[in-house]
């Protein structure tokens, strides 16, 4: 059974005759047309050249298709080559930018490290300069402090030598002590006392300036002798109040700036090795007040 072609009606099937009815006879087939010799030769020639024509047509179509494919392939190669060059340029540019950025960051890090190092060095130099300046100030003020100590010591000795002032009044007149000379002695005694008070304030001001610079006196009163802080210029007999190895008096004040010793303190140290001669012995040393007041 043949399938119907699209858009064409299917051929009608012959209707079988009814049962018992004889089928009419079929008409005789038409005779095949006869071909003459020239037409047959022409048809034979066409059939002979048909493979050649088909081959030529196929070769032509193949050549056209191959040319189109080659052209398309060349176009794709150009596009790929162009894209590759652009990608290479972009990659090269990105690598150059990355290297430049990395080099810039390294330069910035090096500059920051150099700046930090210079800043630390500058701070160290500044601290050293400040410490050296304070040390120079201390060296300039120490002679002033020593002079004030000597002046106060001399003034106190002067007051001790002259004795207490004599009060004026009827008792002095009765004892015959109310004289111009004694009045001058009394006035001088009072003037020395006021002068010593003023020197005490000046010395305290010098000590305040030294303390502001970080400079403090080395303690000596009732201290155990320390060779790192003190210089023993003299020895004296030990006693109950001053055991062996303790400082009895200070001859010259010492100063320090934190752990740095600017000047050692000159002191008199108690020692058990100093034998005390008996009372009234001609070798007995005279009592000398070496305190600095």
Residue whose token pair is 């005390």: 276
Q: What is the pLDDT, as a whole number, of residue 63?
A: 80
The strand pairing partners of 224, in sequence order, are 246
Q: What is the pLDDT, as a whole number, of residue 286?
A: 40
Q: What is the pLDDT, as a whole number, of residue 17?
A: 58
Name which of 293, 207, 195 is nearest 250 in CA terms: 293
Determine contact, residues 241/274, Cβ cutoff 8 Å: no
Name which of 275, 266, 274 is nearest 247 in CA terms: 266
Token pair of 123, please?
């701070």
pLDDT, tens digit, 9 for 90 and up, residues 208-242: 988 888 889 999 988 999 999 999 999 998 888 88
Residues of the chain with pLDDT under 50: 1-4, 6, 166, 277-293
Q: What is the pLDDT, as a whole number, of residue 55?
A: 79
Domain spanning 217-276 has what CATH number? 2.30.22.10
Domain locations in the chain as residue ranges: 217-276
Residue whose token pair is 């701070």: 123
Q: What is the pLDDT, as a whole number, of residue 175?
A: 53
pTM: 0.49
Residue whose token pair is 């179509």: 61
pLDDT, tens digit, 9 for 90 and up, residues 88-131: 888 888 989 999 999 999 999 999 998 899 999 999 999 888 88
Q: What is the pLDDT, as a whole number, of residue 2?
A: 45
Residue whose token pair is 């005694």: 189
Q: Which residues contact 203 (CB under 8 A, 6 or more apart)?
A: 145, 148, 149, 152
Residues in the chain: 293
Determine contact, residues 165/205, Cβ cutoff 8 Å: no
Name which of 286, 211, 291 is nearest 251 in CA terms: 291
Q: Parallel, antiparallel, or unpaired: how do β-strands 230-237 and 265-271 relate?
A: parallel
């Amino acid at each position: 059974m043949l399938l119907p072609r699209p858009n064409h009606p299917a051929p009608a099937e012959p209707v079988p005759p009814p049962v018992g009815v004889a089928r009419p006879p079929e008409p005789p087939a038409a005779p095949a047309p006869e071909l003459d010799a020239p037409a047959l030769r022409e048809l034979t020639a066409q059939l002979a050249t048909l493979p050649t024509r088909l081959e030529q047509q196929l070769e032509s179509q193949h050549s056209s298709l191959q040319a189109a494919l080659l052209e398309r392939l060349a176009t794709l190669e150009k596009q790929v080559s162009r894209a590759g060059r652009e990608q290479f340029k972009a990659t090269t540019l990105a690598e150059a930018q990355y290297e430049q950025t990395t080099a810039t960051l390294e330069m910035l890090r090096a500059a920051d490290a150099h700046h930090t190092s210079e800043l630390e060095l500058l701070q160290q130099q500044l601290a050293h300069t400040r410490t050296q300046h304070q040390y120079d100030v201390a060296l300039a003020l120490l002679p002033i402090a020593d002079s004030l100590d000597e002046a106060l010591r001399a003034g106190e000795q002067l007051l001790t030598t002259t004795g207490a002032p004599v009060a004026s009044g009827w008792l002095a007149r009765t004892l015959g002590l109310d004289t111009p000379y004694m009045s001058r002695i009394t006035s001088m005694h009072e003037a020395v006392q006021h002068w010593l008070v003023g020197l005490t304030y000046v010395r305290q001001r010098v000590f305040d300036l030294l303390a502001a610079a970080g400079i403090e006196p080395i303690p000596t009163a009732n201290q155990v002798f320390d060779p790192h802080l003190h210089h023993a210029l003299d020895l004296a007999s030990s006693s109950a109040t001053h055991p062996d190895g303790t400082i009895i008096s200070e001859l010259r004040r010492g100063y320090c700036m934190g752990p740095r010793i600017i000047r050692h303190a000159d002191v008199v140290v108690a020692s058990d090795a100093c034998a005390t001669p008996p009372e009234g012995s001609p070798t007995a040393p005279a009592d000398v007040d070496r305190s600095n007041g």
